[in-house]
Structure 1
Amino acid sequence: MFNLVSSDWISCPSRVPVLALLVDKDQRNQPSQQQELINCSCPFLARHLTLAIPIIAAILFFFVMSCLLQTSFTDPGILPRATVCEAAALEKQIDNTGSSTYRPPPRTREVMINGQVVKLKYCFTCKMFRPPRTSHCSVCDNCVERFDHHCPWVGNCVGKRNYRFFYAFILSLSFLTAFIFACVVTHLTLRSQGSNFLSTLKETPASVLELVICFFSIWSILGLSGFHTYLVASNLTTNEDIKGSWSNKRGGEASVNPYSHKSVITNCCAVLCGPLPPSLIDRRGFVQSDTVLPSPIRSDEPACGAKPDASMVGSHP
């Protein structure tokens, strides 16, 4: 429905979307709802009602596409993985044996947030303790701040930095779908005046197909918009709601959401209107190997993070 092709990825363990095409090669010959509206309903409604109808449809369409592109191309809040030296230092702090290759059972740390104890889990892939509300996406293979979910429709994770664009996308898409549905119904109703309604349906098969598609898709889109409106008002994420992090879904006692501001308006402003944090991705950096060499470091070799001596440059072992 959104005519978005799958993204190409950088060839490295950490997957970051770098390119997306707007039209899928398998869907180039398939007309979209917007194309059907422009080709069938808009000219008729513009002649018989008002020229504002195609203008409103075009504005909604471009706003939806703008939000879709922003959601797809914006860094969702990916946290860079720990370097080899950082991971080794953290492992030595946790492991009493001092072996950086030892892999103990899952570990957690506890922090206090607004009087509520929050556990920080250790990510064995990124080699770090995840900050609060951070989760590792199995599709993108990255830890994402305020992880909500991975959306296959936009080809990207939805997190701290692009959630506002995602919410604007599904909300505007709901208005666009409802607007198209109303326009098609009006189109068929006006065309059937003074003639048989069944014959009108036979004369406009594209409008009938569009009406059926809109009717079945509008409920899922409206339901998704309503669900995320509830999440925004409660300052929750989809991941937290599914896991029941602050409810009794797990069978235990319900705990208070420490991130809620106890006000719907304040929660909405905090989620949607707060300052956008900077991206932590170094797009010009090089991918470092996440494996430690088994051989010990020789005395004539620089340690982790140390700069090599000028006399060693170009030398051979």
Structure 2
Amino acid sequence: MSAVMITRKVRKWEKLPGKNTFCCDGRVMMARQKGVFYLTLFLIVGTCSLFFAFECPYLAVHLSPTIPVFAIVLFLFVLAMLLRTSFSDPGVLPRALQEEATFIEMEIEAANGNVPAGQRPPPRIRNVQINNQIVKLKYCYTCKIFRPPRASHCSICDNCVDRFDHHCPWVGNCVGKRNYRYFYLFTLSLSLLTIYIFTFDIVHVVMRSVDNGFLNTLKETPGTVLEVLVCFFTLWSVVGLTGFHTYLLSLNQTTNEDIKGSWSGKNRVQNPYSHKNIIKNCCEVLCGPTYPSVLDRRGLTQEDLPVPVASAAPSSSSSSSSPVPQTTHAVLCLQKTKAPLIPNKRTPDDAKPSIAASAQKSPSPKEENPPAPKAPPLASPEMDVETSINKDKTH
């Protein structure tokens, strides 16, 4: 068996390293661990469905028809921000190619010099200046690159993410440079939706309790009780998360920088990315330009695939194994023997000279031996009949 290399074109997302999953031919990019994301989607859709089924019909008639309309608009906005955050590229940085990684390694070795045996080599760090502030760029041993400022390597997705904030299992993706604004709008709108549903759940119970009593109202509307419990326990976490990210937004700071204390350590280094103005910081994050993806997930690349091919058998074995047709075999036998044809009475007169000439030119193999006595030709029955007729005419 031998192999033949065949080149075919594939999408780049099929060859990207890391632990992400892709859907819709690379248009959707998520983390592999998506169980909590499905739980988030179920809680939002389930709670809103109960609200639309139990509270909205009653509140639209007895209070205002704009209540369900605003709830639908808010629900669709929350769903759109969630899917936009979960299905987008957070700002993953491509890994270095083999030639680039080799060149970077040579540069590092040349800069560090020869390290004596037993000594630890110096850390791979580069210093850049941003707003008169020295910022260190760390080397990623997995991606083989010097990470840009504010980038970090996500251990769950196994990728370097630009302006890495954190990996959020509730949205099933990392939160970075390209989807942070959608994440913040998702948490903000979800907080408003939770407060909205929780408030009108209480209003619905109070209005029904005036006529039917509190206990009878709880028995008649079990969905309302379930909504109140879900909203009560999720309200504190969602509102608290929104308040924390509002604080980070006002300082133009990420969750990763806040946890590590990058700008509030012992040295009291100031944040070089802050504009010292809350409005400017918020506008930069929420209203800044939309950065394109640098992965080119749907681009085309070539891939070589080995295809096994069966080797050809020897010619002798193939010729012996393949049967020869009967007609071909008969023709070959005639060509080998080349026996002269004897003309008879039925042979046409035009063919007799050619047959006689061919018989003289191609002697049979038996002529090579000593000549044997020729036997007299046998008379055919037709010749006997003609002879007897001639004799009768003579007499």
TM-score (norm 1): 0.80
Distance 2:141 2:17 in 1: 14
Q: CA deviation at 1:11?
A: 7.3
Match of 2:19 among 15, 18, 24: 15
Match of 2:86 among 72, 77, 81: 72
Q: CA deviation at 1:75?
A: 1.2
Mapping for residues 186-197 of structure 1, pairs under 5 Å: 186-197=203-214
Distance 1:220 1:242 in 2: 18
CA shift in 2, pair 1:112/1:31, >3 Å = closer
Distance 1:24 1:257 in 2: 37
- Unmatched 5+ stretches in structure 2: 1-12, 24-29, 115-119, 304-395
Distance 2:98 2:121 in 1: 18
Distance 1:218 1:127 in 2: 43
Residue 299 of structure 1 corresponds to which residue in structure 2? none
Secondary structure in structure 2 of the residue aligned to 1:140: coil
CA shift in 2, pair 1:111/1:24, >3 Å = closer
| Aligned residue type for 2:18 | S
Give the RMSD, CA atoms, in angstroms: 2.7
Distance 2:293 2:226 in 1: 43
1:120-151 CA-to-partner distances (Å, cap 9, x unmatched) read 10000100100000000111111111000011
1:235-277 CA-to-partner distances (Å, cap 9, x unmatched) read 00000001110003xxx22110000001000000111101111
CA shift in 2, pair 1:29/1:167, >3 Å = closer
Match of 2:279 among 265, 286, 289: 265
Mapping for residues 153-168 of structure 1, pairs under 5 Å: 153-168=170-185
Match of 1:42 among 56, 59, 76: 56
Secondary structure in structure 2 of the residue aligned to 1:193: helix
Q: CA deviation at 1:196?
A: 2.1
Distance 2:210 2:76 in 1: 33
Distance 1:56 1:287 in 2: 51
CA shift in 2, pair 1:287/1:161, >3 Å = farther
1:140-179 CA-to-partner distances (Å, cap 9, x unmatched) read 1111110000111111111111111111100000000000
TM-score (norm 2): 0.64
| Aligned residue type for 1:135 | S
| Aligned residue type for 2:138 | K
- Unmatched 5+ stretches in structure 1: 1-8, 289-317
Residue 134 of structure 2 corresponds to which residue in structure 1? 117
Mapping for residues 1-317 of structure 1, pairs under 5 Å: 13-19=17-23, 24=38, 32-96=46-110, 106-248=123-265, 252-283=266-297, 284-286=299-301
Identity value in percent: 56
CA shift in 2, pair 1:33/1:116, >3 Å = same
Distance 1:164 1:237 in 2: 12
Secondary structure in structure 2 of the residue aligned to 1:41: helix
Q: Which has the higher contact order (CA 8 A, sep 6+)?
A: 2
The answer to whether the Cα contact below 8 Å between 1:77 and 1:279 also exists between their aligned partners in 2 is yes
| Aligned residue type for 2:19 | R
Secondary structure in structure 1 of the residue aligned to 2:138: strand
CA shift in 2, pair 1:138/1:178, >3 Å = same
Secondary structure in structure 2 of the residue aligned to 1:32: helix
Distance 1:152 1:80 in 2: 23
1:280-306 CA-to-partner distances (Å, cap 9, x unmatched) read 012124599xxxxxxxxxxxxxxxxxx
CA shift in 2, pair 1:36/1:92, >3 Å = same
- Structure with max Cα Rg: 2
Q: Mean alpha-carbon deviation: is it higher for 186-195 or for 54-63?
A: 186-195
Matched length: 273
CA shift in 2, pair 1:166/1:259, >3 Å = same
Runs of 4+ displaced beyond 6 Å = 20-23, 27-31
Distance 2:175 2:246 in 1: 15
1:204-234 CA-to-partner distances (Å, cap 9, x unmatched) read 1210111011011111100000000011110
Secondary structure in structure 2 of the residue aligned to 1:192: helix
Distance 1:184 1:124 in 2: 53
Residue 4 of structure 1 corresponds to which residue in structure 2? none
Distance 1:85 1:54 in 2: 59
Distance 2:44 2:163 in 1: 36
| Aligned residue type for 1:59 | V
Secondary structure in structure 2 of the residue aligned to 1:79: coil
Distance 2:170 2:254 in 1: 18
Distance 1:76 1:64 in 2: 18
Distance 1:220 1:87 in 2: 43
| Aligned residue type for 2:270 | V
The answer to whether the Cα contact below 8 Å between 1:77 and 1:144 also exists between their aligned partners in 2 is yes
